Amino acid sequence: MRLWIKDPLAILAARAERGIVVDGAEIVECVARGHSPAERCDATFDASRHVVLPGLVNAHHHFYQTLTRAHPAGEGLELVPWLAAMERVWDRMTPEALRIAIRMALVELMLSGCTTAADHHNLFPPGLENAIDIEVEEARALGMRMTVTRGSMGISQKDGGLQPDSIVQDSDTILEDSERVLRLFHDPRRGAMIRVALAPCSPLAVPIRVMTDSAKLAELHDARLHCHLCQSTDEDVYAVQTFGKRSVDLLEEAGWLSPRTWVAHGIHFNEDEIARLGQAGVGVCHLAAADMAFGVGICPTKELEAAGVTIGLGVDGAASNDSSNMMEAVRHSLMLQRLRYGHASVSPHDALRWATEGSARLLGRDDIGRIAPGMQADLALLTLDEPRFSGAQDRIAALPLCGAHRADRVMVAGRWRVIDGMPEGVDLEALIARHRAAARAFA
């Protein structure tokens, strides 16, 4: 069916003033000012109240943490002790609780205009071995596009690591399950709804063999690699003390300095490391809300981009951001980066570019993140009807500047998944009630 999304209030696309035509899962035409679609359309959607964006792409999250937002166990603690305190809460996770946490995260993201999400799932206590399978089932049921990352933690406290024994797996188990989920779920084709990436929590959290063999598996299956990197200054102190090397050197030794890799946070690099990351084509996911929440520093986006590093955005875990809102992530990034570089150096369009094209590139995708013929029909449509937008002149810049946070319509692969601000096929009230009840087990 050919659908004309007609006469938008504004659209983030070139020569598409009269809208776009969607056929099946793809955008087939941009309709320029003074023109009509080249072929007859079967249906028309009047977008005259809507600002149309490419669907936002969230390149880093921990869905299970939606059950432990604003949790008192971590309040007032710095990053590492916070993580230690929260891991003792998260190790109670059951398959049923995980399923409802994932559903809530996906719905929350979608309502904020997100159409593709990467979830860094690294929690596999006994009983939760099939966490990735549950995630794929939930994404498919909701029609969300995902890069599901098979995370891992492999060095526990008894071996001198930071994680409790209960959530750590041995290297063989991690690698065998990584291969299993790649074979089962990874779809490298254009238009794929599910892809799998391999994602040890950080190069400091697993034995080197998990890093090197993950890189080999990723090569074999044409998949991507992901980890946390250089989030705090403590990290490199620990890396040098424990491994005799800095984090980026560990990454290089494991064969991860490649265009397959994107890292989360990426704050504390030296000049030489920034140049090496750029030359290798490694991408960085900027996580403004979590970085502000923990006061760990500000991602050097300008220096990284100048070196050739792609910047994308994510919301990070729902226990460190306490929210899974991608439009808010755009605003947070714009404000934080302006704090670092000044008003003239970072524009609302830069932040939107990071959240769309940038994040898409981090996930290795050239079929999403832009509105153009041949791209997937992943769209976020927002109205400017709330008081906060009244009087706004630049309708696209108004979204991050005035604080947009909820989409009116969201389309994924040509299908409406949010209509009138509500998720299709989901009883939102019932979902919140179930999620709240599940969260009581983590109090």
- Provide the binding-site residues for Zn ion, judged by CB under 5 A: 316
Nearest to Zn ion of 252, 316 (CB atom)? 316
* Paired tokens of 302: 């300008």
Which of 64/389 has CB closer to Zn ion?
64
Please identify which residue in the block is written with the tokens 């946390």.
228
CB atoms within 10 A of CB 38: 10
Tell me whether residue 21 or residue 102 sits nearer to Zn ion (CB atom).
Answer: 102
Q: Which is nearer to Zn ion, 121 or 370 (CB)?
A: 121
- Least distance from C-beta 288 to Zn ion, angstroms? 13
Closest CA to 317 of 55, 81, 94, 117: 117
CB 388, min distance to Zn ion, A:
29
- Least separation in angstroms between residue 384's CB and Zn ion is 32
CB-nearer residue toward Zn ion: 291 or 316? 316
Per-residue buried b or exposed e for 262-286, using 16+ beta carbons within 10 Å of the residue's own CB: bbbbbbbbeeebbbbbbebbbbbbb
What's the min distance (Å) between Cβ of 312 and Zn ion?
14
Q: Closest separation between CB of residue 21 and Zn ion, Å? A: 38
**Minimum distance, C-beta of residue 123 to Zn ion, in the bound complex (Å):** 12
The nearer residue to Zn ion, 118 or 380, going by C-beta atoms, is 118
CB of 62 to Zn ion, least distance (A): 6
In the bound state with Zn ion, the residue whose beta carbon lies nearer, of 236 and 316, is 316
